[in-house]
Structure 1
Amino acid sequence: MGSHTETPTKVWLAALAGLLHDIGKFALRAGERGTREWDDLGRKDYGYYHALLTADFVEQYVPDPWRVAVKHLAGNHHRPQSRDERIIALADHLSAGERADPTEDTRAAHPGQLLSVFCGIQADKKQAPEPRYVPLQPLRLAQEALFPGSELPRDQIWKRYEDMWGDFTGEAGRLRQAHAQEGDLPTYVETMLLLMQRYTWCLPSAYYHTRPDISLYDHSRMTAALAAVLMDSALDDERLERLDQTAQEAEEELALLVGGDISGVQNFIYTITARGATSALRGRSFYLQLLTEAVARYLLRRLDLPPTNLIYAGGGNFTLIARPGDRARLRDIRRDVSRILLAHHRGDLYLAIAALPLQGRDFYWGRIRHKWEALGDQLQRAKQRRFAELDSDLEALFRAQGHGGNEEQQCQVCGREHRETKPDPKSITEENPEGVRKCPACLSYEGLGEKLRRAQYLLLEQVGPPAPAGPEMVGAQGLAPPPGGWEEVLRALGLSARLAGDRHDIPAGNEARRTILALSDAALADLSPQPRTAVGRRLLVNVTPILREDEIKKLKEKKMQDLPDAGSTKPFHVLEAQAQGIPRLGVLRMDVDNLGQLFAEGLGEHATLSRLATLSFAVSLYFEGWVEHLAARRNDQDRAAGLGERLYSIYAGGDDLFFVGSWDAVAELAREVRADLSRYAAGHPGIHASAGIALVGGKYPLYQAAEDARRAEEAAKGLQWWDNGERRSKDAIAFLGQALPWKQFGLEDCAEKGLHNAHALMHLLVDMIEAKGEAWDKTPPRALLRRLIGLHREYLERAEARRREGKDHNRAGQPQTLWGRWMWLGFYSLSRMYDQSKLNSIRELRDQLKAEEFRSMAWVGLAARWAELRLRQREQR
């Protein structure tokens, strides 16, 4: 094992070489010719044309201090001559896990477009209906850049490569210039990693003999991760040569798969009162994202590993690649992180860490997926033994943390006692002259949430060396110091974070390493690399409804109290009031069905480290990127329609989301997220998500609303249903007390009206009742809705009775058509309504129900309840 300094240069150079080893493929497809003739001598030196082009790129764009070393390491990975070059070659093979070298290395032989990774997945015993290809565009939140489609003609493909190569090399040149005088290798590597993400996320890495569904970005970063850990190993030339030939069956431990999972997240976010909840809720959620990042970076710094080794971080969990010999240090790191979290969060949050060794053979024939699954199982077991690593320190957790019964020191938001608890001046109003008492931590979360709503940049700055946390943080006298704000926690982990609404709000850099991340595509254009400042894009769902002056005026006219100033985040009771129909808040929880199974089984024997990284990135790109676009677009549409911004993102990342907003807007967002997920996942019928929506009042306890939405989501995930003779499960939504498959709930545009699903029928009923005329005078419109709800209730009762009797399926196991009195009763009731009103819409509804033998009765009740709530008069406002 090599010596561990703050920046072990050989490890970082290996990571950089691994990151750039295949950049020549990009150049080749862009039509680059190289600086030397591709002849027999070139073939002898480099093996393949793209390797020569890689060496050319390094020569032109990597700064002087590292150029020669990286040129040999990256350029010679097909013709390695030294121990270090063989490390890159082995890392390349392990990362790919399946690739045979091609017999031809020309532009025509290379795959042109990246096949969507979802096309190679088997889920629900189904596959994608046809090949779909990722657009050849730099990463940005636009439909034409993210959603797969048909393959382009070859001439268009090469033109896209040429354009992107020009932009990429232009930025690589500016990065080189930034490090020309006083280069900093870690900063350069991180910026290049972010640059590679932007331009190579959509390029296929796969070579001639494999399906091109692994991105060049993901293959390159996994090669970099493995090169970093192998470079610091005891592998010599002889063992490396042997491994290069026998790695597919080698039992030698070559790397360590490390996972981290923060538990207690749900209670931490949602168990707060409604006082100041809007900003505090978003602040707490974003803090957990920062905490995940801080912990992951803390591990990497303590292990002397570059950011390339972080496979994924978000949603309270992370995965990274370390050395086999890092297991002992991981135990110390886990203890130190536990001390920090215990001191600041009093046991509310805990970081579980698990690690599994990866043998050479684990990288081939899909074996890596079993390790991925086993790591998840280990993390679950670790979460059941919270803080066990603290041993004697653990007793501090059970000591009294306050004086008990000291009301003046009790925070009215989180309920904890703190000696610095005091009334928040911003909460003092005529209606509440004493204000709301808040502890420093809650005030800090609210402040973070307020800053986040207008943030365009996230600045992360390295703070001092990553020193171990000593036992004094959890001492004999109990937990000390008292919990502070979120900034103190991150600093204890060696990270400082701040948000900026404008590029000019970011302070000038000093000697500390830092990273500036643009939170929007537009903001990225204003960033440029600096010697000790890495720059790039960070995907973050940051949708916050802002209260405008004209809205305040209207709400005051309706006698609404407790309104914040214009420009503030809308409180929940305002979102409730701005709902269409009944004033209610909607709470949405949603996540991908069977995601763990997708990773563990979906790729089968084709599972490789690079392909799993590609799948992980693809899923997070949708939930951390595209979901923001959908929510922001709906807020824009509602604002333009005079309804105001009505959606608030609490969390979206990994594979799940949590939104709060006006109930009708939340329901529409859920439909859009599910509909676009299918298109994004190449139309794969087995890749889907389930959702639960709870309707609550604006003063309803937040933790209970979150729990209600969770139970609704569980009801959706527990649904069993039939689709064209096939028994299906999940892929559903629970709304207004009923779980329905999305297919029956409706995913079409709002313009669609009819009986074919609940959403279309809801719009049909609303249009029928809102139609002008005197005809409704003889038939109260609500009578129609109540009748449909009653018929549906009878239908459900009969269906449940048949299920208990075992008569709901025939001998072949197929569902039996359900007949009952609601059919003739419904026809009779609607006929009477038509006779009384002479409304053609009622007659048409009756005739359509009869024509399709009342099959839509499964969702008629939900549609009628939905319509009733949309039409509900607002006397209670």
Structure 2
Amino acid sequence: MDHAERLALAALRYWATRVTQQAWEPPEDAAAAAHLWRTAWLAAGGSAPADSAWPPLLAGPLASVFSLLQGEGAPSPSVVVQPQALLLQREVLFPQAAGKVVERAAVVAELAQALDDLDRRGLPLAAQVEGVLFALQRYAWALPSPLAGVALYDFARTHAALAAALSDDEVCLVGGDLSGVQDFIYSVSARGATKQLRGRSLYLQLLTDACAHAVLAAAEMPLSNLLYAGGGRFYVVVPGAFAAELPALRKRLGDLLFKAHYGELYLALGGASFAPEGYNVAVWNELSEQLEQDKRRRFAALDRDAFKKLFDPKQPPPPRPEAEGEEEEPLDAMAESLQKLGELLQRASVLSVQPGKGHTLHEGERTFYDVLNALGLASRLLVDEQEYRPSHGVRRRLLKLADESEVTGMGPHDLLGLRYTAAEAPRATAKDVGQYEKLERTRKDDQELREGHVKPFGLLAAQSRGVKRLGVLRMDVDDLGKLFGNKEGGIKRPDGIAGLVVTAALSGALARFFEGWVGELCRRANERGDGGVIAVYSGGDDLFLVGSWHLMPGLARQIREDFAAYVLGHEVASSEAPPITLSAGIVLINAGYPLYQAASDAAEALDAAKAHDRPTGRAKNALTFLGRTLGWEQVGETVALCEQLGALVGSGAPRALLMSIQRIDANAQQTRRHTRTGEVQFSYGPWVWQGAYQLTRMAERAQGKESKEAIQGLRERLVGSEGVAQRTIERAGLAARWAQLLLRERGGDEG
């Protein structure tokens, strides 16, 4: 591995010192130096010149990777990322229109200082590679590279990966995809779920990292060759000849995961070998097809004895005791360890990761830590510095989970990095504990709640405005395949392996939003103290949130608007459709509703949002809420109608107004017709004059002149000629249902 690490380190340091103007020492071996130079030009997408010049860095600030989008509505290349150290702050993270650009001298000086600090420590080779990677991640994520729209960090690490892996003019792109993730996370009892959910979600992220580490270790490649890990997937660059070793590695990792999870989780592996100059979308498609084939044959690599165990009868768990004083069946070792992991996560500031050699999972080793350790990447959460013990005998990556986390007095071989994870959850105050104790037993989660613990589902439902329900939100990026494809609506990529560099940059940009910024938005929602939101998962291109239902529509809208601004570099009007969009599905559930079913219901709502179409032909980019699907451009009007209706009822208008509007909406839906092409035709019909009559009677019954006039104005807006033409009743029907739920004093079975 030393040879690969030396090449990777030389590549990383070249690009870092190119910016800082520090001295760079090329490899003493002439062949290695020539290899570095050639792979740099391959990564830059150009042909090596006759002289010894390296690819030049682009001048000016870094253009956003989204400026490479093809098609109408794409942001201008003048949308830039400010050259600053990486922080979860909007003014740092979000691209902006080129205007007043921050001077890059400060961040370059910080990068130079980080390199000097590494030089003084005399680190082993592997630690040097990781140390420069972490420095570039922090200080070069917003500096330009030889490729437009690609940060120096992404370019340098991909060049390092290519330099380390290229042998006999071929490399192999290996992909891994964990199957069974949904069932593993969500198949927990709703009672006490907050203790398990976050631990399971974090474990899957750590397991993805550990599986990627196992592949890199088997191929003898450094950390720079990990292009992406998140959302249960990873991609690494290894030598082309390593493809022949994938079947044996697939079996070894499959056996280990089978021993740990008895088939509940499975790692699909695939690999596509290619010459760097010949990389194109066909290589990516070949790898994706291999992963899909491996998923369809998930137990094919098991030996006979292991395969038989799949069909061994298993004792079902005993019925859950309901009587007071009875104790639950104790958790098994894995579930107990995951529960403890989730409990630690609410207080942890640092993730300690210790790379090492993997080994067989021994009998009796059944905790999450045992599994990660067997894969060669032991990971632990550290709550504070007192839990950190510097050691001369080990090498660790100390990954800060938040910008403000601090670690001092590090061990001689330890490295400090950054790992954003959307692990936000509301913590109980003394007042919350008192409220929880007063809840009816049927609405509790059968757990003891203490100050500082994560609020249980029962309490989050009880703290919802109006009806006492939880909201479950699922969101993801629309047309992700098109986004990663080199075609209309996707990111424009140069020829050859430079296209893979752009893919790595795009993946990194999405990860910073979903793993970083979404967690920040959840934290802000929880700071209000008005119920709360638990970020069960956010990464890759999707998210899953659970919390007090009244917070979910606003949070979904904020995520959508921020994502649009993140892509375009400016705030967007509600009617504006950015070139990359999100769709969302929200469902309301009782606190004791099975979580796996809630996840399925929310997935169906998300599917409905993605099936949304418009007369303009633009599809998706929508929200499904309370069983109704709206384009995001219609959500603002619906919110305003909901607020207006709530204010009307609050000022004396009869609550029957809300039911009347819902009936008018239902009658209008019955008159809808479809054209031969499937487009909706919204017809005039009896619902118009019936609605006018009902709202006129409501106005007559209203108390006070202002209420009467407001209802009369609402009548004109809903069933007047302009309102009918604009189908306003569709938004009003949803708004009335929404307002009704917000005004309900007690939670019944409905909702």
TM-score, normalised on structure 2? 0.91
Give the superposition deviation at 1:290.
0.8
- Aligned partner of 2:86 in structure 1 is 139
How far apart are the structure 1 equivalents of 2:159 and 2:86?
A: 21
- C-alpha contact 1:188 1:534 (8 A) present in aligned 2: no
Matches within 5 A, 1:436-451: 436-451=329-344
1:165 maps onto 2:108 in alignment: yes
- Aligned partner of 2:162 in structure 1 is 226
Secondary structure of the residue that 1:590 maps to in structure 2? Answer: strand
How far apart are the structure 1 equivalents of 2:748 and 2:664?
A: 29
1:268 maps onto 2:187 in alignment: no
Question: CA offsets per residue over residues 137-189 of structure 1, 9 Å max, x none?
Answer: 11110000011112135xx55xx21111122212222222222xxx2111121
- Aligned partner of 1:10 in structure 2 is 3
Question: CA offsets per residue over residues 793-817 of structure 1, 9 Å max, x none?
Answer: 1222212xx11x63975xxxxx756
Matches within 5 A, 1:21-420: 21-27=14-20, 53=21, 56-58=22-24, 71-73=25-27, 82-98=30-46, 110-122=58-70, 126-128=73-75, 131-153=78-100, 156-157=101-102, 160-179=103-122, 183-206=123-146, 212-230=148-166, 233=167, 253-363=169-279, 367=280, 369-400=281-312, 402=314, 404=315, 410=317
Secondary structure of the residue that 2:224 maps to in structure 1? Answer: helix
Query: What is the percentage of aligned positions where both structures have the same residue?
Result: 35
- C-alpha contact 1:16 1:189 (8 A) present in aligned 2: yes
1:732 maps onto 2:672 in alignment: no
- C-alpha contact 1:720 1:727 (8 A) present in aligned 2: yes
1:452 maps onto 2:348 in alignment: no
Secondary structure of the residue that 2:104 maps to in structure 1? Answer: helix
- Aligned partner of 1:515 in structure 2 is 397
Give the superposition deviation at 1:434.
2.2
- Aligned partner of 2:424 in structure 1 is 543
- Correspondent of 1:603 among 476, 491, 504: 491
- C-alpha contact 1:22 1:220 (8 A) present in aligned 2: yes
- Matched to 2:163, the amino acid is A
Give the superposition deviation at 1:818.
3.7
- Matched to 2:617, the amino acid is R
- C-alpha contact 1:257 1:357 (8 A) present in aligned 2: yes
- C-alpha contact 1:137 1:202 (8 A) present in aligned 2: yes
How far apart are the structure 2 equivalents of 1:302 and 1:821?
A: 72
1:679 maps onto 2:565 in alignment: yes
Give the superposition deviation at 1:654.
0.5
Give the superposition deviation at 1:98.
4.1
- C-alpha contact 2:433 2:451 (8 A) present in aligned 1: yes
C-alpha distance 114-527 of structure 1, shift in aligned 2 (>3 A): farther
- C-alpha contact 1:388 1:394 (8 A) present in aligned 2: no
How far apart are the structure 2 equivalents of 1:201 and 1:806?
A: 51
Secondary structure of the residue that 1:220 maps to in structure 2? Answer: helix
C-alpha distance 411-121 of structure 1, shift in aligned 2 (>3 A): farther
C-alpha distance 144-605 of structure 1, shift in aligned 2 (>3 A): closer
How far apart are the structure 1 equivalents of 2:714 and 2:665?
A: 15
Secondary structure of the residue that 1:258 maps to in structure 2? Answer: strand
Question: CA offsets per residue over residues 292-331 of structure 1, 9 Å max, x none?
Answer: 0111111111211100000001111100100011122222
Q: Which runs of 5+ in 1 are unaligned?
A: 1-7, 28-52, 59-70, 236-252, 414-427, 474-479, 747-756, 810-814
- C-alpha contact 2:475 2:585 (8 A) present in aligned 1: yes
- C-alpha contact 2:658 2:736 (8 A) present in aligned 1: yes
C-alpha distance 388-430 of structure 1, shift in aligned 2 (>3 A): closer
- C-alpha contact 1:343 1:483 (8 A) present in aligned 2: no
How far apart are the structure 2 equivalents of 1:412 and 1:548?
A: 33
- Aligned partner of 2:605 in structure 1 is 712
- C-alpha contact 1:225 1:321 (8 A) present in aligned 2: yes
- Matched to 2:378, the amino acid is S
- Aligned partner of 2:449 in structure 1 is 564
- Aligned partner of 1:636 in structure 2 is 527
Question: CA offsets per residue over residues 696-723 of structure 1, 9 Å max, x none?
Answer: 101111111111111111111111223x
C-alpha distance 17-320 of structure 1, shift in aligned 2 (>3 A): same
Give the superposition deviation at 1:334.
1.2
1:532 maps onto 2:409 in alignment: no
- Aligned partner of 1:553 in structure 2 is 434
Secondary structure of the residue that 2:723 maps to in structure 1? Answer: coil
How far apart are the structure 1 equivalents of 2:224 and 2:423?
A: 26
C-alpha distance 486-785 of structure 1, shift in aligned 2 (>3 A): same
Question: CA offsets per residue over residues 669-698 of structure 1, 9 Å max, x none?
Answer: 111111111000116722011111111101
Give the superposition deviation at 1:492.
1.4
How far apart are the structure 2 equivalents of 1:767 and 1:302?
A: 64
- Correspondent of 1:653 among 539, 549, 560: 539
How far apart are the structure 2 equivalents of 1:630 and 1:128?
A: 24
Give the superposition deviation at 1:394.
4.2
Question: CA offsets per residue over residues 541-565 of structure 1, 9 Å max, x none?
Answer: 1111212211222344455554522
How far apart are the structure 2 equivalents of 1:328 and 1:172?
A: 38
CA RMSD of aligned residues (A): 2.8
- Correspondent of 1:847 among 683, 706, 716: 716
Give the superposition deviation at 1:391.
4.1
- Aligned partner of 1:860 in structure 2 is 732
1:701 maps onto 2:594 in alignment: yes
Secondary structure of the residue that 1:433 maps to in structure 2? Answer: coil
How far apart are the structure 1 equivalents of 2:424 and 2:290?
A: 35
Secondary structure of the residue that 2:711 maps to in structure 1? Answer: helix
How far apart are the structure 1 equivalents of 2:348 and 2:82?
A: 29
C-alpha distance 184-760 of structure 1, shift in aligned 2 (>3 A): same
TM-score, normalised on structure 1? 0.78
Secondary structure of the residue that 1:111 maps to in structure 2? Answer: coil
- Matched to 1:714, the amino acid is D
Worse-matched range after superposition: 556-565 or 833-842: 556-565
Give the superposition deviation at 1:255.
0.6
How far apart are the structure 2 equivalents of 1:190 and 1:577?
A: 47
- Aligned partner of 1:820 in structure 2 is 685
- Aligned partner of 2:572 in structure 1 is none
How far apart are the structure 1 equivalents of 2:671 and 2:229?
A: 49
- C-alpha contact 2:41 2:47 (8 A) present in aligned 1: yes
- Aligned partner of 2:505 in structure 1 is 614
Secondary structure of the residue that 2:270 maps to in structure 1? Answer: strand
Secondary structure of the residue that 2:535 maps to in structure 1? Answer: strand
How far apart are the structure 2 equivalents of 1:101 and 1:126?
A: 37
C-alpha distance 261-824 of structure 1, shift in aligned 2 (>3 A): same
C-alpha distance 717-807 of structure 1, shift in aligned 2 (>3 A): closer
1:794 maps onto 2:667 in alignment: yes
How far apart are the structure 2 equivalents of 1:494 and 1:412?
A: 38
- Matched to 1:384, the amino acid is R
Secondary structure of the residue that 1:790 maps to in structure 2? Answer: helix
Q: Which has the larger radius of gyration?
A: 1
Give the superposition deviation at 1:399.
4.3
- Matched to 2:695, the amino acid is L
- Aligned partner of 2:13 in structure 1 is 20
C-alpha distance 102-819 of structure 1, shift in aligned 2 (>3 A): farther
How far apart are the structure 1 equivalents of 2:439 and 2:247?
A: 59
Give the superposition deviation at 1:411.
7.2
C-alpha distance 360-169 of structure 1, shift in aligned 2 (>3 A): closer
C-alpha distance 793-867 of structure 1, shift in aligned 2 (>3 A): same
How far apart are the structure 2 equivalents of 1:134 and 1:219?
A: 16
How far apart are the structure 2 equivalents of 1:820 and 1:113?
A: 59
How far apart are the structure 1 equivalents of 2:318 and 2:292?
A: 32
Worse-matched range after superposition: 280-289 or 760-769: 760-769
- C-alpha contact 2:177 2:268 (8 A) present in aligned 1: yes
- C-alpha contact 2:466 2:747 (8 A) present in aligned 1: no
